[in-house]
Amino acid sequence: CLDEEGKAHEFHSSWKTEDCTDCSCSRAGISCCTSYTTPVNYDKEKCESIFNKEICSYKVVEKDDHSKECPVHSWVG
């Protein structure tokens, strides 16, 4: 399989891209999906979501004080 960057991958192999996408190669081709969930139900006026690329996850914190986390009521992904 050839990925978007032109790199070859063996059949039945899997890898994670730099943008936190899990991919796998089979004889049918490449299949990819995000490896993280996205917060969707939280107080967007008071809080903001910040994506950490190093650990491939979101953190939802108060806009005025990033040391305080906000409750998230639902996630998608």
Q: Please count the other Cβ atoms lying within 10 Å of the Cβ belonging to residue 53.
A: 10
- The band of 4, judged by pLDDT with boundaries at 50, 70 and 90, is confident
Mean pLDDT on 12-41 = 94
Domain boundaries, the chain: 1-35, 38-76
The topology (CATH level 3) of 38-76 is N-terminal domain of TfIIb (2.20.25)
Please tell me the predicted confidence (pLDDT) of residue 77.
83
In Å, how far are 1, 3, 77 from 6, measured between CA atoms?
9, 5, 27
The residue with tokens 């650990």 is 55
* Partners of 34 in the β-ladder: 21
**Dist. CA 5–CA 8, nearest whole Å:** 9
pLDDT in tens, 31-76: 999 999 999 999 999 999 999 999 999 999 999 999 999 999 999 9
Mean pLDDT on 6-29 = 94
> Is 5 within 8 Å of 37 (Cβ atoms)?
no
Same fold, 1-35 and 38-76: no
The topology (CATH level 3) of 1-35 is Complement Module; domain 1 (2.10.70)
